[in-house]
Amino acid sequence: MLESSKSTALWVAALLGLAVTVWLLAPVLAPFATAAVLAYVLNPLVNALSRVFGARGRWLAVLVVEVGFLLLVAGLALMVIPILAVEIPLMRDQLPGLINALNAHMQPVLRHYGVKLAVDEAAIKSF
């Protein structure tokens, strides 16, 4: 029984160490994780196109899929950026009113649980 608890403690410590390491390395690992997901998602399309292209093979299929994906991302960005340019100032203007409404709605609940929360409206408006 004692050996089992030592083994469990060792596994918990190892998992905790791994979690801390991944958390600390997250900014470095994020591009690799993104690349792995993209490769996993786009690989079936590359396989299908490589059969279509025949002798030219896989490199042409990869080129077509990557260029198509980049064009898709650029097109989506060109559609979303103008919308965000219009909506962000509107949202920034409405944010103090929304926070005041949320504050008025939540104050009775917070008072019931004994939580004191002061919202600094000037700081929100200056943001």
pTM of the model: 0.62
pLDDT on residue 2: 63
Question: Model confidence over 112-121: pLDDT tens digits?
Answer: 888 887 777 7
Q: What is the mean pLDDT of residues 68-91?
A: 96
Residue 80 in this model has a pLDDT that exceeds 80: yes
Question: Model confidence over 82-106: pLDDT tens digits?
Answer: 999 999 999 988 988 888 888 888 8
Question: Model confidence over 15-66: pLDDT tens digits?
Answer: 999 999 999 999 999 999 999 999 999 999 999 999 998 877 899 999 999 9
What is the SS3 assignment for the chain?
CHHHHHHHHHHHHHHHHHHHHHHHCHHHHHHHHHHHHHHHHHHHHHHHHHHHHHHHCHHHHHHHHHHHHHHHHHHHHHHHHHHHHHHHHHHHHHHHHHHHHHHHHHHHHHHHCCCCCCCCHHHHHHC
pLDDT on residue 29: 93
Q: What is the mean pLDDT of residues 5-17?
A: 92
Residue 13 in this model has a pLDDT that exceeds 70: yes
